[in-house]
Amino acid sequence: MKPNLFPWLKDVRLNSATLTGDMSAAVVVTLMLIPQSLAYALLAGMPAHIGLYASVLPLIGYALLGRSPALAVGPVAIASVMTFDALMPFFTPGSPEWVAGGMFLALASGLILIVFGFLRFGFIAALLSHPVMSGFVSGAAILIILGQIKTLTGIQVTGGTAFDQLQQLMTNLHNVNTITLSVGLCTFVLLLLARRFAGMWLKRVGVRGLVLDILTKASPLVMIGIVTLVLVAMDLENATKTVGSVPTGLPILALPPMSSAYSGLVISALLIGVVGFIESVSMARAIGRIRKVPTDPDAELRGLGAANVLSGLSGAFPVTGGLSRSVVNLDAGARTPLAGVFSAILMVIVLLGAGQYLAALPLASLAALIIVAIWSLFDWRTLRECIRFDRADAAGWLVTFFGVLSLGVEHGIMLGIALSVGTVLWRQSRPHIAIIGRLPGSEHFRNVHRHQVETLSNALFLRVDANLFFANWDRVREFIDQQTNHLTQGGEVVLSMASVSDIDSTALEGLQGLARDLKTREIGLSLCEIKGPISDKLKRAHLDGQVNTHLSNHDAFEAIRAKGHALNSPNI
């Protein structure tokens, strides 16, 4: 398969409109990206400036192979906290080995995603159901917020499950660093005020359109800037932890130094990649629906893969499509991944120039930023809807949510995958089969248990409502055996294949066995409403010789009736 560069060119024709849309979106998104990338780097246990590195080449990588017109790629909270969890057992946060481990995670998950993309593995999105993903993200959000509270208060917490951390915070409340806490709380309040009122104030002073948009999205950065300036003015920048020296200049492309621990990181890389993909592809679908362009999960796999490989090579950590930034990107008029390329260019300018200005940013302010950003990830709504629609889904949400809180993100997501896959297998293993009869005076066949229908003596009409394959054939066969016990010599079993659109070798062998076993009881087997591809397969398995085939239920019904099977009318 050829790589197929810039696949999004298939969906849009570039023109001045798309370019201006992409550029203005880039400005808006970059203003959010600067503080967020610093914050999420800290969340991943990295030096803050690594977050800026993760916001340059990955965006270009996505534009190379990704297809969504407005997915904003870069450092995100979930991937960052999963990175932290994966590296924790092997290295010390912030150390060079830690950073190298992050590079490996990005490279490995990137390569895995690219391979998956070329193998057309987009279907693995089904590894996590929507409720399970929502429960996972909500649980992770709680973990992240708990984690930030220690930065916000300066209280030492050694980590562990949500419950451990909470307890440690409680016991160490007396160690709170008042300056850090007040810085954090001030930022927190300012951010909430800005989010709530910035737009209104700006409108009142007559700001409109793009400028309004830019200024609103810049407000978090502005607020943190204000707090920082006040600190500096009050000469307190050393009284609380700050970002510290940020190396000016661009990331150098390099492979991480090898380490024996990396073999233990492969599974984590796989999980980070898959979770990031599933999050991104659902975002991409929402975007595609709005922008009226197709969503191509395989292209998303390749695009996110390229982004991560380049992130790893530029000394950074796993990235993926960010939800909030993508929404902003879309609103701000992004039409193509060029928006990301323009953000990357702006980030280069930041890296070359703004280093010294970022150094004084207090970590507590960034922690406040994370909390404000993350809170929206907590997803009560889905839980409520699940409780209303489908109890099993609600259970999935809750089990995953508490699984993450008690087992941590990595085992939490494994649990979630097991739940989702289990659900699929379970649904598969119980195909719906109906005994059907004819609605009097029509050619319409319905379930005998729900409708007053005509049936034929010593004949059984069954409708299988599923594709036939290894995961459900045994159940189908058992159902048929039970239902056909009462049939006598000369009887006929009719399988209505209207909804069978695929059949595998296990089921084909099974059908042969069924025909054989029925023959020994001198009972015939008829198939009807067979679809083209299925009848081809039946021929290849030489089944057409062993069974009678009819176009429709109705034809089969009349043919068998003609053989002398009495008609049982519903009222008799």
Residues that bind its own copies (CB under 8 A): 122-127, 129-131, 285, 289, 294-295, 385-386, 388-390, 392-393, 420-422, 424-430, 432, 442-444, 447, 450, 465-467, 469-472, 474, 478, 481-482, 498-502, 504-506, 508-509, 517, 531-532, 537, 540-541, 552, 554
H or E element in which residue 422 lies:
helix 409-429
Among residues 3, 563, 8, 85, which one has the least CA distance to residue 318? 85
User: Residue 407 Cβ, how far from its own copies at the closest point, in Å?
Assistant: 14
User: Is the CB of 285 or the CB of 561 nearer to its own copies?
Assistant: 285
User: Is the CB of 203 or the CB of 449 nearer to its own copies?
Assistant: 449
User: Is the CB of 96 or the CB of 264 nearer to its own copies?
Assistant: 264
Among residues 32, 30, 60, 111, which one has the least CA distance to residue 318? 111
* Dihedral sign of CA atoms 214, 366, 167, 399 in order: positive
Listed in sequence order, the residues at least 6 apart from 524 whose beta carbon sits closer than 8 Å to its beta carbon are 491, 492, 493, 518, 548
User: Residue 474 Cβ, how far from its own copies at the closest point, in Å?
Assistant: 6
User: Is the CB of 554 or the CB of 561 nearer to its own copies?
Assistant: 554
User: Is the CB of 89 or the CB of 564 nearer to its own copies?
Assistant: 89
User: Residue 334 Cβ, how far from its own copies at the closest point, in Å?
Assistant: 21
Rg (the chain; Cα; Å): 30
User: Is the CB of 123 or the CB of 375 nearer to its own copies?
Assistant: 123
User: Is the CB of 182 or the CB of 447 nearer to its own copies?
Assistant: 447
Among residues 240, 233, 201, 198, which one has the least CA distance to residue 217? 198
DSSP string, 314-334: TT----EEEHHHHHHHHHTT-
Among residues 486, 484, 568, 567, which one has the least CA distance to residue 526? 484
State which amino acid sits at residue 437.
G
| Cα gap 310→303, rounded to integer Å | 11
User: Residue 395 Cβ, how far from its own copies at the closest point, in Å?
Assistant: 12
User: Residue 389 Cβ, how far from its own copies at the closest point, in Å?
Assistant: 4
Listed in sequence order, the residues at least 6 apart from 160 whose beta carbon sits closer than 8 Å to its beta carbon are 168
Listed in sequence order, the residues at least 6 apart from 216 whose beta carbon sits closer than 8 Å to its beta carbon are 198, 199, 202
User: Is the CB of 478 or the CB of 522 nearer to its own copies?
Assistant: 478
User: Residue 73 Cβ, how far from its own copies at the closest point, in Å?
Assistant: 20
Q: Where are the beta strands (DSSP E) in 368-470?
A: 433-438, 445-447, 455-456, 459-464
Contact 319, 76 (CB under 8 A): yes
User: Residue 420 Cβ, how far from its own copies at the closest point, in Å?
Assistant: 8
User: Residue 289 Cβ, how far from its own copies at the closest point, in Å?
Assistant: 7
User: Residue 453 Cβ, how far from its own copies at the closest point, in Å?
Assistant: 13
State which amino acid sits at residue 562.
A
Helices 130-153 and 77-87: angle between axes, nearest 10 degrees: 70
User: Residue 301 Cβ, how far from its own copies at the closest point, in Å?
Assistant: 13
User: Residue 328 Cβ, how far from its own copies at the closest point, in Å?
Assistant: 22
Among residues 102, 75, 77, 107, which one has the least CA distance to residue 87? 102
User: Residue 424 Cβ, how far from its own copies at the closest point, in Å?
Assistant: 6
| Cα gap 231→224, rounded to integer Å | 11
User: Is the CB of 331 or the CB of 390 nearer to its own copies?
Assistant: 390
Contact 187, 223 (CB under 8 A): yes
Contact 113, 310 (CB under 8 A): no
HSE-up (13 A, CA, CB side) for residue 557: 22
User: Is the CB of 16 or the CB of 482 nearer to its own copies?
Assistant: 482
